């Protein structure tokens, strides 16, 4: 057990080292969600004036939860692409022959996303507050610290399962676009009732919408248990599902 924790910790440290050693690759992932937050606010900010929009007058507070999940999505996808690179270069094969349970290897890879995501989140919130984002309160901040890293693990599990299946960085667009659709095919730009009918139908069945609504509560009003628990259940369910998918992928690798 102690050894497993040590291996997981070492793999997580290695993933964090990449941020410092290859900043050119990490910086876009850190600043991109902030660009989306500020850019989309500038472009679509007047949507709050549409009849029936409700919610806050400042669009940035409405949009913030979406971009927080983008932080998680980008980080998780990057974890998957980095794993594909390690597989291409043969480094992961060497890990597989080490006397370490494969679940521990997978844990080290995907858990690193939960730590790495804190960097774009901190940058996004700092810039957001500078540009008028509502402070979500202590309970809202707590929800961010729980839900966003958890969603980064979901995205990393998805990325890892695809990387293990295709074993090439060329699968990167597939990893990214599925995460993109999960996060943005929700009530991301406007409340459900104002979406185009097709998107409203998709958003109502998209589980990630529950996570966005849970995170949004703190920015636009108050955090309530009725809006929080569906988000927590969704993230737990998605972690179990995508975790099982990634675990199946790593158990089958090379066999």
Partner 1 sequence: MTAVVAALARRSIRQTFRRPQFIAPILLMPTLFLAVNTGGADSATTLPGFPDVAGFLDFELAGAMMQAAMLAGVSGGIALAIDIEIGFTDRLLAAPIARPAIVLGRLGATAAMGLLLTAWFLALGFVFGAQVQAGAAGVLLIAVLVPLAALAFGSVGTALALWAGRASVVQGIFPLVFVVVFLSSAFFPRELLSEPAASVADYNPMSFIAEAVRDPIIGGITATETMKGLLGIAIVAAIGSVLSSFALRHRLRSA
Q: Which residues bind partner 1 (CB under 8 A)?
A: 22, 24-25, 27-28, 31-32, 35-36, 38-47, 49-52, 169-174, 177, 180-181, 184-185, 188-190, 194-196, 198-199, 202
Q: Which is nearer to partner 1, 46 or 255 (CB)?
A: 46
**Which tokens belong to 129?**
């507050």
Burial class (CB in 10 A: 0-12, 13-18, 19+), 225: exposed
Which are the contacts of 4, defined by CB distance < 8 A and separation ≥ 6?
A: 100, 101, 104, 107
Q: Which is nearer to partner 1, 6 or 22 (CB)?
A: 22
DSSP letters, 134-158, are PP-HHHHHHHHHHHHHHHHHHHHHH
Q: Which is nearer to partner 1, 33 or 249 (CB)?
A: 33
What distance, in Å, lies between the first and last C-alpha atoms of the chain? 25
Q: Which is nearer to partner 1, 181 or 232 (CB)?
A: 181
DSSP letters, 162-200, are HHHHH-SGGGHHHHHHHHHHHHHSSSSSS-GGGS-HHHH
Q: How far is the CB of 17 from partner 1 (least distance, A)?
A: 16
Q: How far is the CB of 80 from partner 1 (least distance, A)?
A: 13
Q: How far is the CB of 21 from partner 1 (least distance, A)?
A: 12
Q: Which is nearer to partner 1, 58 or 227 (CB)?
A: 58
Q: How far is the CB of 57 from partner 1 (least distance, A)?
A: 12
Q: How far is the CB of 240 from partner 1 (least distance, A)?
A: 27
Contact 16, 116 (CB under 8 A): yes
Q: Which is nearer to partner 1, 4 or 48 (CB)?
A: 48
Q: What is the Cα–Cα distance from 159 to 127, expressed in whole angstroms?
A: 28
Q: How far is the CB of 199 from partner 1 (least distance, A)?
A: 3
Burial 193-222 (b: 16+ CB within 10 A, else e): ebbeeebeeebeebbbbbbbbbbbbbbbee
Q: How far is the CB of 184 from partner 1 (least distance, A)?
A: 4
Contact 254, 170 (CB under 8 A): no
Q: Which is nearer to partner 1, 84 or 247 (CB)?
A: 84
**Which tokens belong to 245?**
């998918």
């Amino acid at each position: 057990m102690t050894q497993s924790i040590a291996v997981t910790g070492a793999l997580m440290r290695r993933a964090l080292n990449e941020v410092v050693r290859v900043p050119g690759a990490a910086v876009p992932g850190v600043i991109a969600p902030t660009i989306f937050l500020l850019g989309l606010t500038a472009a679509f900010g007047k949507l709050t004036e549409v009849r029936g929009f409700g919610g806050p007058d400042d669009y940035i507070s409405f949009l913030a939860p979406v971009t927080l999940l983008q932080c998680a999505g980008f980080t998780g996808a990057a974890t998957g692409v980095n794993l594909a690179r390690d597989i291409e270069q043969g480094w992961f094969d060497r890990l597989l022959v080490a006397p370490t349970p494969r679940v521990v290897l997978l844990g080290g890879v995907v858990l690193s996303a939960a730590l790495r995501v804190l960097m774009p989140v901190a940058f996004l919130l700092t810039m957001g507050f500078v540009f008028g984002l509502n402070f979500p309160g202590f309970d809202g901040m707590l929800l961010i610290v729980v839900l966003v890293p958890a969603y980064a693990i979901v995205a990393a599990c998805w990325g890892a399962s695809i990387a293990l299946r295709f074993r090439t960085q060329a699968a990167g667009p597939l990893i990214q676009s599925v995460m993109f659709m999960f996060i943005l095919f929700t009530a991301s730009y406007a409340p459900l009732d104002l979406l185009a009918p097709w998107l409203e139908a998709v958003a109502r069945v998209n589980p990630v919408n529950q996570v966005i609504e849970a995170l949004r509560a703190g920015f636009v009003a108050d955090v309530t248990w009725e809006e929080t628990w569906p988000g927590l259940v969704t993230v737990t369910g998605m972690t179990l599902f995508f975790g099982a998918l990634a675990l199946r992928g790593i158990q089958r690798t090379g066999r």
